[in-house]
Amino acid sequence: MAAIEKTVNQLGRSREDWQELDKEHHLHPFTDHKDLHKKRSRIISRAAGNYIFDADGNKILDGMSGLWCVNVGYGREELVEAAAAQMRELPYYNNFFQCSHPPAIELASMLRDVSQPQFNRVFFAGSGSESNDTIIRMVHRYWDLMDQPERHTIISRKNAYHGSTVAAASLGGMKPMHDQTIMLPDIVHVDQPYWFGSDQSLTPDEFGLATAKQLEQTINDIGADKVAAFIGEPVQGAGGVIIPPATYWPEVQKICDEYGVLLISDEVITGFGRLGEWFGADYFGTQPDFMPFAKGVTSGYLPLGGVLVSNQVATVLIDKGGEFYHGYTYSGHPASCAVAIANLTIIEREGLVERIRDDIGPYLQQRWQTLAEHPLVGETRMVGLMGALELVKNKEPIERFDSKQGVGSLCRDRLIDNGLVMRAVGDSIVCAPPFTLSYSEADELIEKSWKCLDLTYKALNA
């Protein structure tokens, strides 16, 4: 019994014990284990506010909100209480077989309140990947019910990330993932709106338009009567915080409208305020038919995903569809839903979306821009609280490093050793701090970034 009252931290193991057990028994996500076992894993044992602490007691500013999810910061008693209270009352029940429960119902109606008017209904899942699997099922079902069963092709983008199940990995545009799985048929990938990664012969606006036009070309190549949907992250996250030029999304929306192609805005990272609007679709002015979400809906305190489904689609599924043979044991898990309700309540009460739009967002963006003066930085970009630095060998003309040098990882390792965690995506460094980041923490983030850019620069020129 004693052990049950303690957290695992209090079981008396040393950091080395954890590392050894981890090495022997734990297979990690997206990890080269041979490489990891040479170094051992960093054990993160607790967190508070906007900081995480490792097992040696090092305090590290969390510039990634965990994995793009701990948006309201750590140590929120309200979220802990919401989960505990719900677990005491009803720890689990399903939403199958004509049952429902208050947390799922309340959350569904709250999501309706914060999303665009075409959304009235939500289907719950356990993660972002599951949410995207659900969308593929719904898209196919919708077009079948519309008597257009030929419309099964979904257009996505290269370097997109939509999750890691077979379906979600196929939907995403990550070549190394494709090479390790079987691919779902009828998914086509077009270019991403990555201006910095282009030859830069067009202005960003021209480039945004040209990239969007590729969607139209692809629809015409496949035949519009075969194209079911287009999916995109408003800002690509895992792909390296690719912020599209302002011309891109309006053109995509126009094309989808013109060809009757459903629009899926993957809001797993951008949902619930990250860009200073409730959803990325609001920021870019699109009106999607589906919005998958996860991560920030609970600030990562418990797993939860879901799909907001437009009236146009939901009406067909409901009126014509009969039973839809799809669902998960944890669709609308009561404790996760209770945490989501408490989390959205915090976001609203503390005005965190507006804070990103009007206050800490503009402040961090302006400070982030100053990093462009560093000799290693070829571009800085940030929208809301989601940004990237492009590390380059030469600034004018732009010359990239050989990817084998692993410059992004070199910099990332220095950052974490100096008390700041950000993510390396190739040679870019990306950040997505909690919405509660203070001004002094923003300053700390910039100062540590500058220092570690210097350390990386010195290491490369040693």
Scan residues 189-248 and list those touching ligand PXG (CB under 6 A). 233, 237-238
- CA–CA separation, 384 vs 374, rounded Å? 22
**CB nearer to ligand PXG: pick between 127 and 156:** 127
Q: Strand locations in 262-400, DSSP E?
A: 262-265, 290-293, 305-310, 377-383, 386-391
**CB nearer to ligand PXG: pick between 163 and 276:** 163
Q: Greatest CA span in the chain, whole angstroms?
A: 68
- Give the tokens for residue 365: 């963006």
Asked if residue 161 binds ligand PXG (CB under 6 A), the reply is yes
| Number of chain residues interacting with ligand PXG (CB under 6 A) | 17
Name the residue with the smallest CB distance to ligand PXG. 128
| Residues 287/312, Cβ–Cβ less than 8 Å | no
Asked if residue 133 binds ligand PXG (CB under 6 A), the reply is no
| Residues 161/30, Cβ–Cβ less than 8 Å | no
Asked if residue 277 binds ligand PXG (CB under 6 A), the reply is no
Q: Where are the alpha helices (DSSP H) in 115-232?
A: 128-145, 166-171, 175-178, 204-222
Asked if residue 162 binds ligand PXG (CB under 6 A), the reply is yes
Give bridge partners of residue 60 from the DSSP assignment.
52
Scan residues 295-334 and list those touching ligand PXG (CB under 6 A). 305
Asked if residue 171 binds ligand PXG (CB under 6 A), the reply is no
Residues in CB range of 138: below 8 A, 6 or more apart: 123, 290, 307, 309, 313, 317, 324, 326
**CB nearer to ligand PXG: pick between 126 and 378:** 126
Smallest gap from residue 115 Cβ to ligand PXG (A): 17
Phi, psi of 94 (to 5 degrees): -90, 170
From the centroid of its chain, how far is CA 214? 24
Asked if residue 416 binds ligand PXG (CB under 6 A), the reply is no
**CB nearer to ligand PXG: pick between 216 and 236:** 236
From the centroid of its chain, how far is CA 75? 21
Which one of 12-20, 121-129, 334-342, 397-405 is the stretch in contact with ligand PXG (CB under 6 A)?
Answer: 121-129
Residue with tokens 């490093």: 401
DSSP 394: B
**CB nearer to ligand PXG: pick between 290 and 374:** 290
**CB nearer to ligand PXG: pick between 209 and 429:** 429
Give the containing element (helix H, strand E) for 336. Answer: helix 334-349
Smallest gap from residue 290 Cβ to ligand PXG (A): 12
- CA–CA separation, 407 vs 372, rounded Å? 17
| Residues 57/419, Cβ–Cβ less than 8 Å | no
Smallest gap from residue 371 Cβ to ligand PXG (A): 20
Smallest gap from residue 328 Cβ to ligand PXG (A): 12
Asked if residue 151 binds ligand PXG (CB under 6 A), the reply is no
Which one of 150-158, 160-168, 362-370, 392-400 is the stretch in contact with ligand PXG (CB under 6 A)?
Answer: 160-168
Among 268, 377, 437, 453, binds ligand PXG (CB under 6 A): 268
**CB nearer to ligand PXG: pick between 209 and 386:** 386
In Å, how far are 241, 306, 376 from 295, measured between CA atoms?
A: 16, 10, 32
Which one of 89-97, 222-230, 265-273, 364-372 is the stretch in contact with ligand PXG (CB under 6 A)?
Answer: 265-273
Asked if residue 67 binds ligand PXG (CB under 6 A), the reply is yes
Give the containing element (helix H, strand E) for 140. Answer: helix 128-145
Residues in CB range of 71: below 8 A, 6 or more apart: 65, 272, 273, 274, 296, 299, 300, 343, 347, 352, 434, 435
Which amino acid appears at position 377 of this protein? V
**CB nearer to ligand PXG: pick between 95 and 236:** 236
Asked if residue 294 binds ligand PXG (CB under 6 A), the reply is yes
Smallest gap from residue 425 Cβ to ligand PXG (A): 7
Smallest gap from residue 266 Cβ to ligand PXG (A): 4
Smallest gap from residue 336 Cβ to ligand PXG (A): 12
- CA–CA separation, 349 vs 394, rounded Å? 46
Binding residues for ligand PXG, rule: CB under 6 A, are 67, 127-129, 132, 161-163, 233, 237-238, 266, 268-269, 294, 305, 423
